[in-house]
Amino acid sequence: MRRQVGPAQIAGALVGLLVVAAIVLYLVPSNNYLLLPDRAHPVAPLVHVQGAHPAKGPGAIYFVDVFERRASMLESLFPFIRSGATLVPANLIVPPGSNDQQVRRADLQEMSVSQRVAAAVALRRLGYRVPATPDGVIVEEVVGGTHAIGKLQPTDVITSVDGRATLTLSALRSALTRIRPGAFVTLRVDRGSSKLKLRIQTTSEGSRAIIGFAPGQAADIHLPIRVQIDAGNVGGPSAGLAFTLQVMEALGHKVDRGYRVAATGTISLDGSVGAIGGVKQKTYGARAAGADVFLVPAAGDNAAQARQYAHGLRIIAVTSFPQALRALATLPKKG
pLDDT of residue 3: 54
Give 153-157 contacts, CB < 8 A, sequence gap 24+: 153/98, 153/102, 153/106, 153/191, 154/106, 154/107, 154/109, 154/110, 155/106, 155/109, 155/110, 155/113, 155/191, 156/189, 156/190, 156/191, 157/189, 157/190, 157/191, 157/218
The answer to whether residues 181 and 67 belong to one domain is no
The answer to whether residues 249 and 302 belong to one domain is yes
Any domain includes 7: no
Whether 192 and 109 have beta carbons less than 8 Å apart is answered as: yes
pLDDT of residue 159: 96
The domain spanning residue 173 has which CATH number? Answer: 2.30.42.10
pLDDT of residue 14: 67
| Cβ-based burial of 142 (10 A; exposed 0-12, middle 13-18, buried ≥19) | buried
The answer to whether residues 325 and 236 belong to one domain is yes
The answer to whether residues 121 and 240 belong to one domain is yes
Any domain includes 11: no
**How would residue 33 be classed by pLDDT, with cut points 50, 70 and 90?**
confident
Predicted confidence (pLDDT) per residue in 214-237, tens digit: 888 888 999 999 999 887 777 778
Any domain includes 101: no
Predicted confidence (pLDDT) per residue in 54-77, tens digit: 888 889 999 999 988 888 777 777
Any domain includes 179: yes
Any domain includes 2: no
Taking the C-alpha atoms of residue 148 and residue 133, their distance in angstroms, rounded to an integer, is: 27
Any domain includes 16: no
Range of the structural domain that residue 256 is part of: 30-96+106-128+226-329
Predicted confidence (pLDDT) per residue in 65-117, tens digit: 998 888 877 777 777 777 888 888 887 777 666 667 777 777 777 778 888 99
- 195 forms beta bridges with 190
Query: How many domains does one find in the chain?
Result: 2
The domain spanning residue 275 has which CATH number? Answer: 3.30.230
HEC string of the chain equals: CCCCCCHHHHHHHHHHHHHHHHHHHHHCEEEEEEEEECCCEECHHHEEECCCCCCCCCCEEEECCEEEEEEEHHHHHCHHHCCCCEEEEHHHHCCCCCCHHHHHHHHHHHHHHHHHHHHHHHHHHCCCCCCEEEEEEEEEEECCCCCCCCCCCCCCEEEEECCEECCCHHHHHHHHHCCCCCCEEEEEEEECCEEEEEEEECEEECCEEECCEEEEEEEEECCCCCEEECCCCCCCCCCHHHHHHHHHHHCCCCCCCCCEEEECCEECCCCEEECCCCHHHHHHHHHHCCCCEEEEECCCCHHHHHHHCCCCCEEEEECEHHHHHHHHHCCCCCC
The answer to whether residues 207 and 322 belong to one domain is no
The answer to whether residues 319 and 231 belong to one domain is yes
Least confident of 108-122, 278-292, 317-331: 108-122
pLDDT of residue 151: 92
The answer to whether residues 137 and 173 belong to one domain is yes
Whether 243 and 47 have beta carbons less than 8 Å apart is answered as: yes
274 pLDDT more than 60? yes
Find the distance separating the first CA and the last CA of the chain, reported in whole Å.
83
The answer to whether residues 118 and 138 belong to one domain is no
Residue type, 59: G
Any domain includes 10: no
The answer to whether residues 147 and 92 belong to one domain is no
Q: What is the mean pLDDT of the chain?
A: 87
Distances (CA, A) of 228 to 48, 73, 247: 5, 41, 10
pTM given for the model: 0.82
Which of 194, 220, 246 is a domain's end point? 220
Any domain includes 50: yes
| Cβ-based burial of 177 (10 A; exposed 0-12, middle 13-18, buried ≥19) | exposed
| Cβ-based burial of 256 (10 A; exposed 0-12, middle 13-18, buried ≥19) | buried
Average pLDDT over residues 113-124: 92
Which of 180, 200, 220 is a domain's end point? 220
